[in-house]
Amino acid sequence: MELSTTPYEERLTAPRSWWLVTFLVGVACGLTLLPFGTLPLLGGFVGGLLVAAVITSQYGSVRIRVMGDSLVAGEARIPLSALGSVEILDPEEARAWRTYKADPRAFMLLRSYVPTAVRAQITDPADPTPYVYLSTREPETLAKALGA
């Protein structure tokens, strides 16, 4: 049996309320085709529901992993050697760093439905990115994995 070398892995999934909205988009698509009959109504419902579900699933499902010597956050892969100090952000600080404290050069994997986050400084002088902001439901565990 092979042991996992991933000290941290998290999937940020869409909240339940988004799935309710997804269903309502399907209903709205079906109702727009109601004047054309029952079959178009069902087709509009199923088609609208599928499109909305794919969009909700893709946006709402992002992974954060610390694998070996790299942080993989969404599409980004950052070597741990390029990270400096790691700061755990409570909901109020996370909101501040998402809004008025944010640097437009920063890499931000943010999901507004996740209240807590981690912010890690980038120490690589060749990289203009000042820090990495990661929304996470487990900020202490992620900070520990990044600092290891």
| Contact call for residues 30 and 11 (beta carbons, < 8 A) | no
The owner of tokens 């998290």 is: 10
Work out the percent of the chain whose per-residue pLDDT is above 70.
95
Count of domains observed in the chain: 2
Q: What is the pLDDT of residue 125?
A: 87
107 shares a domain with 55? no
Tokens of 132: 């990495």
For the chain, what is the mean pLDDT?
90
In a domain, 107, yes or no: yes
Q: Are residues 54 and 79 in the same domain?
A: no
Among the ranges given (4-13, 54-63, 80-89), the one the predictor scored with the smallest mean pLDDT:
4-13
- Whether 20 and 79 map to the same domain: the answer is no
- pLDDT (tens digit per residue) in 38-53: 999 999 999 999 999 9
Any idea which residue has 């909240």 for tokens?
15
Domain co-membership, 106 together with 143: yes
Residue 22 domain boundaries = 12-60
Q: Do residues 81 and 141 share a domain? A: yes
Co-location of 35 and 74 in the same domain: no
Residues 72 and 53 occupy one common structural domain: no
139 and 69 together in one domain = yes
Mean pLDDT for 23-36 is 96
Residue 1's pLDDT band, with cuts at 50, 70 and 90, is very low
Q: What is the DSSP letter of 61?
A: -
**What is the pLDDT at residue 4?**
45
Question: Whole-model pTM?
Answer: 0.79
